[in-house]
Amino acid sequence: MKILCVVGARPNFMKIAPLCEEMKKYKEIKPVLVHTGQHYDFALSQVFFQDLKIPKPDYNLNIGSGTHGEQVGRGIIEVEKIIIKEKPELVLVVGDANACLVGALSAAKLHIPVAHVEAGLRSFDMRMPEEINRLLTDHISGLLFVTEPSAIKNLLKEGISKNKIFYVGNVMIDTLKSSKFKVQSSKICEKLGLKPKEYAVLTLHRPENVDDKKNLREIISTLNELQKKIKIIYPCHPRTKKQMERFALLAQIKKMKNLILTQPIGYLEMLNLIENARFILTDSGGIQEESTFLKIPCLTLRENTERPITCEIGTNIVCGTKKQRIIKEADRILAGKAKTGRIPKYWDGKTSRRIIKILRNYGRKK
């Protein structure tokens, strides 16, 4: 059974790693790894392949940056060629980046079955490019692997047959658990002069935050207040830095004495920072999940989340981008009143095992 796996962005790499590892156990499965190259520099791509021991891609399309239309358009042209050449029995896509939609659309047009890992998540915010990717991918996939109960409800409500839906858990947690020893041996805190629980970690990259000058200015003003109360570590995404320069806001960030601005950092170092932080400020979906598993308080700088379980039973609070609310929630954490959470069902490090078992049965039936 030849399975074409399509990835392209940093979050995809954490999700494909345990699946590639599990596939290696079975002689009847032949994975073919395609990297679209949406994230292409060392900090956002190569370091993840090194840290997570992901096999070297069989194909690297080097698509690079560009508009969503450019990335998706070029991706479909190239992935279609690979599918025609390789003739896979199945195309596997993960998450919600453009590479996910590219793989799913290319396969569906050529009548190749699609499996979507992390299906059914919904923010109900169509301004998010990822929401469009999620919806379209799910509706052209034949196997939908979900991380939480809300995803099952969403898919059923959208008319997708329950026979296509499999509640398997979260592959991100497989990667996190298998990396635990390496994460704990990281020296990133020492390198940055940090003491455990005496700093907060910030990530910021969503278009609704970094492409909107008003929102970005409000967030930066909030950070200025927060850094007077606790040190903030900010590994800055290249695109976010570009937008801060465009809006003449980068100088304000650099003036903050208690905010450490760094280049993007690798997966293992980032997890070490998260695990030792007092709390997290983020607009990332994956970090909401990682912080819930690690039981670290998380303040999500968005008006919604496609991962509601992280709020319902985890450590996450959706704060929006208004200064007053963010400061209020941060003060509660600093006062020792942080939200405590528990780990969701099937977030146990065995999700990739469950997925590959289902795919093997699917292959036998074919």
What separation in angstroms does the CA of 325 have from each of 50, 60, 291?
39, 43, 20
195, two tokens: 């003491």
Of 294, 59, 284, 28, nearest in space to 175 by CA: 294
What separation in angstroms does the CA of 256 have from each of 166, 226, 227, 259, 327?
47, 10, 7, 6, 17
116 is catalytic: no
240, two tokens: 């976010």
Q: How many whole angstroms separate alpha carbon 31 and alpha carbon 7?
A: 13
CB contact at 8 A, 164 and 141: yes
Q: How many whole angstroms separate alpha carbon 210 and alpha carbon 239?
A: 8
Q: What is the number of H-type helices and E-type strands within the chain? A: 18, 13
Q: How many whole angstroms separate alpha carbon 326 and alpha carbon 303?
A: 12
Beta strand pairing call for 90-94 and 114-117? parallel
CB contact at 8 A, 311 and 319: no
**Helices marked H in the chain:** 10-23, 46-51, 68-86, 98-109, 129-139, 149-157, 171-178, 180-184, 188-192, 207-210, 213-226, 238-246, 250-255, 267-276, 285-294, 309-312, 323-334, 351-365
Q: Which of 39, 139, 205, 237 is catalytic?
A: 205
Query: Is 317 strand, coil or helix?
Result: strand
Radius of gyration of the CA atoms of the chain, in A = 20
* Residue 85, phi then psi, degrees to nearest 5: -70, -45
Q: Which residues are catalytic?
A: 205
